[in-house]
Amino acid sequence: MLKVGLTGGIGAGKSEVSRRLVAYGAVLIDSDRIAREVVEPGTPGLAAVVEEFGPDVLTADGTLNRPALGAIVFADPDRRAALNAIVHPLVGARAAELEREAGADAVVVHDVPLLAENALAPFYDLVVVVDASPETQLDRLVNVRGMTESDARARMAAQATREERLAVADLTVDNDGPLEALEPQVRGVWEELLRRAAATTR
């Protein structure tokens, strides 16, 4: 098994790269998706979040009010750390379970938005960083995702810098340009992952 950490700043296009790697045959473990699962209604994770942040982070139907929680944690690093202390161990346990199910010869791509922030690079055989300039990130967040500029800047500021992400990269995908420039790079990354996976089984 080859364990790959895939990361990139918000708006860099990491999800598009992961989708294309799956099309080539990668097994994707999506930390964001797992993070949503572990705080669904009835889970110990949601109970712990409500205990820490109070009932105002719930909607009327008992689900997590993500905008309300986001407004708290993105404005306060200490509150963000408190949330991470609840969610990250649950995500890690579920990711490990999915990894075991993938099979010994799989190329397993862990989509981890906060890989650089949480110093997780040593846990993977290699790290792929999807890179885009802060200007490109901001443009996509505002004009594609519909965020306000202040919200987009706050989300970006809560993440590692571009330089910090690139410092942990073994392979880099430049996604500053148009989509058609992405495919040849992803294909090259996949070929390199297959080469490294083969080398680990020899």
Q: Residue positions in the annotated binding site?
A: 11-16
Binding residues for ATP, as ranges, are 11-16
Mind spelling out the 3-state secondary structure of the chain?
CEEEEEEECCCCCHHHHHHHHHHHCCEEEEHHHHHHHCCCCCCHHHHHHHHHHCHHHECCCCCECHHHHHHHHCCCHHHHHHHHHHHHHHHHHHHHHHHHHHCCCCEEEEECCCCCCCCCHHHCCEEEEEECCHHHHHHHHHHCCCCCHHHHHHHHHCCCCHHHHHHCCCEEEECCCCHHHHHHHHHHHHHHHHHHHHHHHC
